[in-house]
Structure 1
């Protein structure tokens, strides 16, 4: 079932406990700190539910990100679905529902990894994946632990989430997790850990899932950029695309056994992220979004040069050329990760993006993004500093002040819209958060080599007794990996390949792009509103 945006918003009114600035938020869909972003996410659901993009975004009745890919063509199809949603948020909504959807598909591709000597979560993970997909739910995840000196007020000196009691029907958990990006907008949250754990840390070695309205579960939101924005005209990005981050607090929360994925097993609790395709699927989605955001920033740069009349200057052309080169680099990493695909569990779990290219992309993005932002800043110069403070100056002009900072080829209103968009994308606190995220969301730079050298899916599968192969098309036939009653019949079947070479000019690959596409993406962001914040047209995704 593919939900509509309206059904998604209705589901958020479930009594969940969200806190902001010391006060409880009764309804995130109506609160000024969250309502616009919730509406932006609802529009994503509408694109999948009933739009010209529905066939691209869905397969066999579920969102395509939930489908376990079986071939290179499936990876391409999934990326094309990622791209539609990424463009709808102009690259600034990162943890959209398709992010964790891909992660849970990664879990389902290798369910036997969840069978250990302490707990068997294989059936649970398959059932959970199926339930999320069939109900079209938005799942968030939080995997970071607070520092050892954190005081959570529990009085026991242990801030991290752990099981404090076992019952016949499940476990009781207590503690804190960081950072729940997008969690306030989700239906479900997966609570786990991606950090290395020592054998003595078995109490913290667990992963489970919960609905957001579970008693005792709290989300403490960071400062909301949306709440502090001046409206869509003055802050066109933060007012609509603040996906938010929050602290997750479990205050003696009961978790049924069927919602436990790993329990008291250090290896499985880490390997569910690094030893299945989950992490690589996360990267596939993130890399597609990163490519899209660079397209957007490059489009803003092109519009700035046209508005200021500097477009034809050789130095400006070279600068725009460097930005287009960065866009091509970001795109190349996505396509290369798909082209270097690997079998999962000898083909029983389908295929996944190439490990080396995927991990290299994360290191590259952290280094490339600040360079791209600085390049656009140089093209903008200090023009944004000469802006009126808000759209009020256009709605209620001061006598004798004129219309504002126009140029010979651009009306004052349009020039203000563009400069305000550039300022928020490049120099606002919202922009700083996104730059920080690109640089450090997977750790500081000196951690990247360690991440790349972790025991990856191949190593874990070999220890489990499976064969890890990189057989090109034409190898052994795919087998159905989901045995028993939980078998999922909509994961797709192996597709026929014609020879051992890939057709790089077929219908599945979009090789078009460049300056015009970047400019159209930035223009689509500007076209959606007037100085009073009212929409000028029904916003869908960029065409």
Structure 2
């Protein structure tokens, strides 16, 4: 079953321990640092109530992201649901609930992967299936954090999440994880490790999912761009779509056994992402969102060029053409990953997007986004810099007439121009925009990691064979 946006917001009022600027946040749905973004997530949930949208968003009464795709057509249907939600935030909410929902579906496709062979032979297969059911049936928002704190020489090994005690009712964990994107707004948070662990590092080889209000679990928020926004008119994106990133700290948190997915098994702890479709499902969702975000930015560039009266200049039309080409590239990667689908577990686990294309999308997106932002900045010109400090200037009895007179362009009244350029600045040049550029660069991990992975996931042997065939087609005798 699906829940309404209001039901989602009510679930966030659970006493969770969220900290910002040295103060504990009592209610994220009411606090000025989080309330508008929480409302934006709520609006996504409300889309399921629209009879015209339900066939796109839902399958079997739950969001399509939870369904294990069984065919190419299922992948296409799932992408259409992703696209609809991505358009709800113009691509700026990167970790909407359908992201981890797709990961949970990946787990459910091959639960046998969770039956580890490590110390004690922990079997998390039923727990993984229970996680999938719980999230799907409750229509829950599950965030995740998989990144360890940066630890320099001599920092010791007490920063990372680790098991410090085993009890009859579960395990006690202590430590931290970073970059918990969207965790402040989630119902649950999955904690684990996606990178390979040394074979003897059983202490840190644990994966679990907990309600965000679990005692001892703290979320320490970064700066809130939403809170810093003066108004929606002045910062229309950061005022509504700041999904936030938080440091997760566990202070002797008890994790019930039924919430543990992997335990004391380094190979399985990392393998649940790579030996199931979970990670490729992530890429499917994020690639669709990235495509949507480039569509928005390109549309913004077109509007700015028209407002400037430069849209018919050859250099500008060429620049817009380059941007439209980038949009087409982003779209092509999504469609190609679907078209190159692969069976999972001999077909028993359904199908997944093609790995080679999915992995390549990570390279494309990290390189393309900064180029798109730079191109649009060049199109916008100095108008992004000289803007009234606030929309209040337009409403002021003395300043308003002056601003309306001198900040207009032919065919574009001052209010419309200021509104457009403030949106452009928030997307391209604000602190919020800077976070998004860095976010897209590292969304799928560090480049040196995914470049290396592409080497073994790509068709290196085929490429080499084609070049070798050319070499083998002639010899020194042809030099005569």
Partner of 2:177: 177
Q: Is the 8 A contact 1:274 1:455 kept in 2?
A: no
Once residues 48 and 228 of structure 1 are traced to their aligned partners in structure 2, the CA distance between those partners, rounded to angstroms, is 31
Residue 375 of structure 1: how far off its partner (Å): 1.0
1:60-99 matches, cutoff 5 A: 60-99=60-99
1:26-65 equivalence runs, <5 A = 26-65=26-65
8 Å CA contact 1:148, 1:158 repeated in 2: no
Counterpart in 2 of 1:310? 310
| 1:395 match | 395
Provide the rounded CA distance (Å) in 2 between the counterparts of 1:299 and 1:379: 12
Tell me, yes or no, if structure 1 residue 142 matches structure 2 residue 141: no
> In 1, are the aligned partners of 2:194 and 2:270 still within 8 Å (CA)?
yes
C-alpha separation in 1, matches of 2:427 and 2:45: 25
Counterpart of 2:130 in structure 1 is: 127
| Structure 2 residue aligned with 1:165 | 165
**Does 1:405 pair with 2:416?**
no
Q: Secondary structure at the match of 2:218?
A: strand
Q: Secondary structure at the match of 1:47?
A: helix
Report if the CA contact (8 A) 2:369-2:437 is conserved: yes
The question of whether the paired residues in 1 share the 8 Å contact of 2:107 and 2:278 is answered with yes
Q: Match for residue 472 of structure 2?
A: none
Give 1:401 shift: 2.2
Q: Unaligned 5+ residue runs, structure 1?
A: 457-543
Pick closer, same or farther for the CA change 1:455–1:268 going to 2, 3 Å.
Answer: farther
Cα 1:73–1:313 change in 2 (3 A) is: same
Deviation track 1:21-51 (CA, whole Å, cap 9, x = no partner) reads: 1110000000000000000000000002335
Q: What secondary structure does 1:248 align onto? A: strand
User: Structure 2 length as normaliser, TM-score?
Assistant: 0.92
Q: 1:190 to 1:135 in 2, by over 3 A?
A: same
1:448 is aligned to 450
| Partner SS state of residue 447, structure 1 | helix
Given that residues 237 and 424 in structure 1 are in contact (C-alpha distance below 8 angstroms), is that contact kept between their aligned partners in structure 2? yes
Measured in 2, the distance between the counterparts of 1:240 and 1:298 equals 20
The 8 Å contact of residues 359 and 457 in structure 2, kept in 1 or not, is answered as no
* Contact 1:18 1:25 (C-alpha < 8 Å) held by counterparts: yes
Is residue 2:297 matched to residue 1:294? Answer: no
| 1:442 Cα deviation from its structure 2 partner | 2.8
Does 1 or 2 have the higher relative contact order (CA < 8 Å, sep 6+)?
1
State the 1:151 CA deviation. 10
Q: Which secondary structure does the structure 2 equivalent of 1:194 belong to?
A: coil
Match of 1:471 in 2: none
The CA deviation at 1:395 is 1.7
**TM-score scaled to structure 1, two decimals?**
0.81
What is the SS of the residue equivalent to 1:430?
A: helix
2:247 is matched with: 247
* Alpha-carbon displacement from aligned partner over 1:379-435 (angstroms, at most 9, x marks no partner): 101112121111110121435624251111111111000000111111111111111
Tell me what 1:188 maps to.
188
Deviations along 1:512-538, whole A, 9 cap, x unmatched? Answer: xxxxxxxxxxxxxxxxxxxxxxxxxxx
Q: Distance in 1 between matches of 2:418 and 2:186?
A: 35
**C-alpha distance in 2, partners of 1:42/1:151?**
44
1:521-540 alignment runs, 5 A limit: none
CA distances 1:169-221 after superposition (whole Å, capped 9, x unpaired): 11111110111000000000000011221012110001001001100000000
Structure (1 or 2) with the greater helix fraction: 2
Matches for 1:305-344 after TM superposition, within 5 Å: 305-344=305-344
Alpha-carbon shift at residue 454 of structure 1 (Å): 6.5
Aligned residues: 453
Cα-Cα RMSD: 1.6
1-structure distance, mates of 2:330, 2:152: 39
C-alpha distance in 2 between matches for 1:325 and 1:336: 16
User: Cα distance 1:150–1:107, how it changes in 2: closer, same or farther (>3 A)?
Assistant: farther
Q: What's the counterpart of residue 269 of structure 1?
A: 269
Aligned 1:448-467 pairs, distance under 5 A: 448-453=450-455
Change (3 A) 1:41 1:51: farther
C-alpha displacement of 1:285 = 0.5
Q: Measured at CA, do residues 382 and 172 of structure 1 come closer, stay the same or move farther in structure 2, by a change above 3 Å?
A: same
Distance 1:262 1:306 in 2: 55
In 1, Cα distance between equivalents of 2:171 and 2:397: 62
* Distance of aligned partners of 1:24 and 1:324 in 2 relative to their CA distance in 1, 3 Å threshold: same
Q: Secondary structure at the match of 2:281?
A: helix
Separation (CA, whole Å) in 2 of partners of 1:205 and 1:365: 31
Residue 210 of structure 2 corresponds to 210
Residue 241 of structure 1: SS of its match in structure 2? coil
Q: Answer yes or no: is 1:417 the counterpart of 2:419.
A: yes
Name the counterpart of 1:520.
Answer: none
Q: For 1:446 and 1:119, how far apart are their aligned partners in 2?
A: 33
CA contact (8 A) 2:393 2:403 kept: no
Structure 2 stretches lacking a partner, 5+ long: 459-480
